Structure 1
């Protein structure tokens, strides 16, 4: 069916690039010189990600607490031809202004036919996990707070019908996380971004009861947990000489692992109304994973410390939503997943995005899908889950 004009595209996974003064304008004076700031490279800087390698001259990079982080735009290449795609622009003037300017982003969304979007961070990493590596926990907490204030002040408040309010938390301290939610409660935050597998970052897993105080608050306030793939800091590297394409092809397995963790954990039994969105994880794998999970549960639950009464597939269809950019297999098998479990993503400004042709691509993907189901997938499922009705 055609993508009808009354259907508004709602993207549940886009990204913004923080402008140079996000933290300079918001951190206390004592932290401004060591907080995140943009510097011009001379060729003598050492890449904190690059195993001691030098950063080339003439780049704009982030500096935090004396360390250099050169991934300025994190693949912010929207609008470039395929043969010009790379891993990272190195200066702001190499990006579309919509990457870092909210007014320009709204204009780019209008060009693309996207009415609303949920935005993930870039420099702090998608769940703010970079700040968890700081030895100065007060600086880390204030950096989280500054990012939340930035998106509230510059993105959510000026454009209340275009951007779904999402926050990041100092997840390494649950009391501080809840305090941050309380601090920004007046802004009706609809979702938060958490690591897909905190155990890989050195924190308790979802199988523990550690996260219960935070989950209780999120459930009570109907705040959705976004688990964006890659937030665990883990990628599938099959061999040292495998090209990056192998790792990129396997990123969805991170979401498969997070789903398996949650389905066999106590989380959804303790918090039956907690909602989880598998950001950028794809959906085509979901029918197989649910079939496999139910089989394991049927045959092996009696000798393991897992729930004995509720099938994993029932938990999925009550508590988890899958998200995709392009996933023809998932669309074709939508009834095995649940039409009400599917949501669409644009992924602007990353290289997987089809900006400015999103409506065309979605229409081609959904050409054999009934109109009412298309509308659910591209708009109404997201509006219902994130409590984000049309203006």
Structure 2
């Protein structure tokens, strides 16, 4: 199948060649701390036999996959006719599990300044996600106000490893600032089960990367329930949230169960004035990668119909990670109109491009 006419990739991981690239952007004592100890926002310890990255994504000049703007443009953006590529960072998102909120906030600001200097403006197709440390919501809000008006910043990034659901009032200053700046929030996995975050599954800690990776959707269910039931979308009616890299198959069950329970238990959430599933449809988007792949393709079509997929899905490749999805290889059974929405139009409208 040919490429869609236009493509917006909503999950591209631009990387630091070394954390030391952030040293010039850090004040003391954080610059010395980074030189001596690193970011110490390490990912979890589950081993992936596939490795984290595509083997062909290492730039010709060397360095980490995703670390060279020119190579990312030539290897990803140009071949797939991408109108825009949304840069989400890589290891930096794991600062959400750092026990030192001040250091995490300083690293977020340093990364954002580095991204603007190294990536934004090199190619018009690159658009950035402003990384914040949710451990200090007031510092995160100041960061959103500091850079939220930059013409190439289109959203706010938070890792999903956390100590409590993202709907809780502790985090509301972040959403207030994002709404004020007209920026969606994008949530991305990777830090679950490490640092100060909770266990990555409802049953505790798994033994293998296979279990960990498969169960990431549990975290998305918990955060989405929290956002809805704590009234975030009622309180901030202009806020949009993107759930990246968490799959989609869990969403119908969650909406059905929540709507059913809401009918009897709505007294506990008096700020909700509509069925919970309506807030999902009006405020939430999900990215395609990793798309579920049932043995019978028509089952995925049923799932798409259940969640109104052509209006809430955004294409993502997850470049340069091992489970990269090439635009021509997915969603082949959809109508041309549905593919155009998912690959391009939904993101164009959401990000006001």
Q: Normalising by structure 1, report the TM-score.
A: 0.75
Given that 1:112 and 1:359 are in contact with CA atoms closer than 8 Å, whether structure 2 keeps it comes out as no
Query: 2:72 aligned to 97, 102, 105, which one?
Result: 105
In the TM superposition, residue 207 of structure 1 has moved relative to its aligned partner by 4.5
User: Which blocks of at least 5 consecutive residues in structure 2 are unaligned?
Assistant: 294-298
CA distance, structure 2, for counterparts of residue 168 and residue 244 of structure 1: 26
Instruction: Spell out, residue by residue over 1:286-339, the C-alpha distance to the aligned partner (whole angstroms, 9 max, x if none).
Output: 12221111111123324x245453101100010011112233555543232122
Which of the two has higher C-alpha Rg? 1
Tell me the distance in 2 between the aligned counterparts of 1:209 and 1:221.
19
Report whether the alignment pairs 1:350 with 2:321.
Answer: yes
More helix by share: 2
List aligned pairs for 1:287-366, cutoff 5 A: 287-302=252-267, 304-307=268-271, 309-325=273-289, 326-328=291-293, 330-338=300-308, 339-354=310-325, 358-362=326-330, 366=331
Report the equivalent of 2:228: 263
Match of residue 172 from structure 2: 212
1:1-391 equivalences under 5 Å are 2-6=1-5, 8-20=6-18, 21-28=20-27, 31-35=30-34, 63-64=37-38, 75-79=51-55, 98-110=65-77, 112-113=79-80, 115=82, 116-126=84-94, 128-130=95-97, 132-134=98-100, 137=102, 139-161=103-125, 163-188=126-151, 189-196=153-160, 198-200=162-164, 205-231=165-191, 233=197, 234-236=199-201, 242-302=207-267, 304-307=268-271, 309-325=273-289, 326-328=291-293, 330-338=300-308, 339-354=310-325, 358-362=326-330, 366-388=331-353
- Superposition deviation, residue 5 in structure 1: 5.0
Return closer, same or farther for 1:179/1:296 CA change in 2, 3 Å cut-off. Answer: same
Structure 1 residue 262, shift from structure 2 partner: 1.6
Task: Specify whether residues 240 and 292 from structure 1 end up closer, same or farther in structure 2 by C-alpha distance, changes over 3 A only.
Answer: closer
The answer to which of 259-268 and 371-380 deviates more is: 259-268
Note closer, same or farther for the CA distance 1:108–1:331 as it changes in structure 2 (3 Å cut): farther
Count of aligned positions: 334
- Check 1:316–1:186 CA distance in 2 against 1; reply closer, same or farther (3 A cut): closer
CA distance in 2, matches of 1:100, 1:208: 35
- The root-mean-square deviation of aligned C-alpha atoms, in Å, is 3.2
- TM-score, with length taken from structure 2: 0.82
